[in-house]
């Protein structure tokens, strides 16, 4: 397999693919943050993806890999917040799978380290945030409501 800049073609492809994915995620999350505001995790997630983009660009430079053309968002921003959260969740799950696949063949430690960071961020930070927002709200009772219910239950005995 022909090598370019010290990495084989599969690793080169992994580098450019991950860069395209983090750029697409950043664009999507920036758009979602513009629509839904800072109350949702999108602005923070976009900033994280931009940090990942800078890390990936550093690797491309280190290994003399040609930077791919401009990125496209990971998809069109859905009309509803729920659908935006679902699409984001699917995207992050796919990112975890993709990074795991790349980690199976990447030999360079610095590349492996950054792909691992991206995978962990998707799995342990982004997915839980998105899933929490998708979960139906858990009703909470005030102490006064709890006392009232307890009094009714105890009074009925």
Alpha helices in 5-80 (DSSP H): 9-36, 42-62
> How many domains are contained in the chain?
1
Q: pTM above 0.85?
A: no
Query: What is the extent of the structural domain holding 34?
Result: 3-155
Structural contact between residues 125 and 44, judged by C-beta atoms closer than 8 angstroms: no
> How high is the pLDDT of residue 156?
60
Res 1 pLDDT > 50:
no
Section 136-152 average pLDDT: 76
- Residue 152 pLDDT grade (very low, low, confident, very high; cuts 50, 70, 90): confident
Q: Report the CATH number that the domain containing residue 74 is assigned in CATH.
A: 1.20.1260.10
> Which tops the pLDDT comparison, 30 or 144?
30
- pLDDT tens for 59-90 read 999 999 999 887 776 678 899 999 999 999 99
Q: CA 4, 11, 66: angle at the middle one, nearest 5?
A: 50
> How high is the pLDDT of residue 11?
96
> How high is the pLDDT of residue 5?
60
- Least confident range from 48-57, 94-103, 128-137: namely 128-137
What is the chain's mean pLDDT, rounded? 89
The rounded distance, in Å, linking the Cα atoms of 122 and 92 is 5
């Amino acid at each position: 397999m022909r090598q370019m800049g010290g990495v084989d073609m599969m690793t080169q492809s992994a580098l450019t693919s991950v860069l395209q994915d983090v750029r697409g995620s950043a664009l999507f999350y920036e758009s979602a943050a513009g629509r839904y505001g800072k109350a949702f995790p999108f602005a923070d997630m976009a900033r994280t993806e931009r940090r990942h983009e800078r890390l990936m660009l550093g690797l491309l430079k280190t290994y003399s890999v040609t930077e791919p053309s401009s990125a496209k968002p990971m998809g069109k921003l859905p009309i509803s917040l729920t659908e935006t959260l679902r699409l984001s969740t699917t995207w992050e799950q796919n990112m975890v799978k993709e990074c795991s696949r790349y980690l199976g063949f990447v030999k360079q430690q610095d590349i492996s380290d950054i792909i691992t960071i991206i995978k962990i961020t998707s799995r342990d930070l982004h997915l839980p945030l998105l899933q929490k927002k998708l979960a139906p709200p858990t009703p909470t009772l005030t102490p006064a409501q709890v006392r009232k219910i307890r009094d009714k239950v105890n009074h009925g005995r």
